[in-house]
């Protein structure tokens, strides 16, 4: 009999709809937690963002409750839910949950074991704490953009993925919550977590920040191996206009690469700064002689650290990913079967068809009934538009 999911029995109340918070609870849900998205009734939603139905894995395996928290009766209904929860996650501007009366200190009397996680761009304190921002802003202030290969005129690049939201925010929050749940097993007490996406982005840049602090050397594009200083760590265009990524850092990988692309003249010059542009030019000329996939067939299985640069549609056909069963399907009540990325972290189930969430439906009544509200109270809240 298979073991239960790692977070089986953990309930998370999630106020986020997009961004780092939703990436965090996507991880927790895929590890088996019961995630309940907490929103407001449609008539009172205001500026609340509702993502596309397919976003965040179509909210697979998650439930939804909609409560007007500005009404005292709605707030009490939320407290009833919180009494049976393990985690609350919010991503409002700093100070908002306290003004609403649903912050950590408001919940502690109802549930002293609650782990309360606030995700925000710059953290709950400091001169930038109230600033609005998005992924690009957090990568900018962390030094990430300044260390990336610039475009024309030195223009900092716009990354092709929301790295800060995902790794610096979502994973940062998920790790912090898991650590707090483990600590709660020892202490019996919950705690408050202040997750700053910008702080998390600094963690992504720790190699270069620590280098500067220790040596005074200012990292930037092409300052070392990992930022393109040498020809063996770069991207090259093939004959068909497609691209290859080369990361032959270790000497034996570099030697294998030089021999197989016909550049043996550079075998003794792997880290010779004086000739790197010549090496780069010869590598570029060599790769231009065959198509991308021909080079992949020639090089990828021979310890050269060469891989294809895929477009998104090509990712789906990659035999390695197919063998790893990283794609699955979810059933959506309005859109039918939706193909999507499966849970990919170690210890998560793969290859299962799951139920997608439905933003038009609410589990409010069922969840609040489980939390102890009687039918008459539920009917009163619904009639008053406090729940939906």
Set 30, 135, 165, 234: catalytic member: 165
Set 8, 134, 272, 374: catalytic member: 134
Tokens of 217: 């050397």
Distance CA 340, CA 348 (A): 15
Distance CA 271, CA 250 (A): 11
Q: Active-site residue 165, yes or no?
A: yes
Name residue 341's beta-bridge partners. 327
Write the DSSP symbol of residue 12.
E
Continuous segment of H or E residues that includes residue 203? helix 197-204
> Could you give the 3-state DSSP secondary structure of residue 72?
helix
Distance CA 11, CA 181 (A): 11
Distance CA 142, CA 281 (A): 32
Distance CA 285, CA 64 (A): 56
Structural contact between residues 361 and 385, judged by C-beta atoms closer than 8 angstroms: no
Distance CA 151, CA 169 (A): 26
Sheet holding 115-120, edge to edge: 62-66, 34-39, 11-14, 87-90, 115-120, 191-196
User: Known catalytic residues?
Assistant: 134, 165
């Amino acid at each position: 009999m298979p073991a239960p999911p790692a977070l089986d029995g953990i309930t998370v109340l999630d106020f986020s709809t997009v961004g780092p918070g939703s990436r965090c609870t996507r991880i927790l849900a895929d590890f088996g937690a019961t995630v309940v998205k907490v929103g407001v009734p449609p008539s009172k939603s205001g500026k609340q963002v509702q993502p596309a139905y397919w976003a965040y894995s179509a909210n697979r395996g998650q439930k939804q409750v909609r409560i007007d928290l500005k009404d005292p009766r709605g707030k009490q209904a939320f407290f009833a839910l919180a009494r049976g929860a393990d985690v609350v996650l919010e991503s409002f501007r700093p100070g908002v949950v306290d003004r609403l009366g649903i912050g950590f200190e408001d919940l502690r009397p109802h549930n002293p074991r609650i782990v309360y996680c606030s995700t925000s761009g710059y953290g709950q304190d400091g001169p930038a704490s109230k600033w609005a921002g998005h992924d690009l802003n957090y990568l900018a202030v962390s030094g990430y953009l300044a260390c990336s290969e610039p475009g024309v005129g030195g223009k900092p690049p716009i990354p092709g993925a929301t790295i800060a939201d995902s790794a610096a925010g979502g994973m940062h929050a998920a790790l912090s919550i898991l650590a707090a749940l483990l600590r709660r097993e020892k202490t019996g007490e919950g705690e408050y977590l202040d997750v700053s996406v910008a702080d998390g982005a600094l963690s992504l840049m720790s190699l270069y920040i620590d280098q500067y602090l220790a040596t005074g050397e200012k990292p930037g594009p092409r300052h070392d191996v990992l930022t393109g200083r040498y020809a063996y760590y770069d991207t090259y265009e093939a004959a068909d206009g497609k691209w290859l990524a080369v990361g032959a850092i270790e000497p034996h990988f570099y030697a294998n690469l030089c021999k197989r692309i016909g550049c043996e003249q550079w075998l003794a010059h792997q880290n010779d700064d004086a000739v790197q542009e010549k090496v780069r030019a010869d590598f570029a000329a060599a790769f231009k002689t065959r198509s991308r996939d021909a080079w992949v067939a020639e090089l990828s299985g021979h310890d050269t650290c060469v891989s294809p640069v895929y477009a998104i549609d090509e990712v789906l056909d990659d035999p390695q990913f197919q063998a790893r069963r990283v794609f699955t399907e979810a059933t959506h009540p309005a859109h039918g079967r939706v193909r999507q990325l499966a849970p990919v972290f170690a210890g998560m189930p793969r290859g299962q068809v799951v139920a997608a969430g439905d933003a038009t439906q609410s589990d409010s009544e069922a969840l609040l009934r489980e939390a102890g509200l009687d039918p008459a109270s539920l009917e009163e809240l619904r009639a008053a538009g406090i729940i939906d």
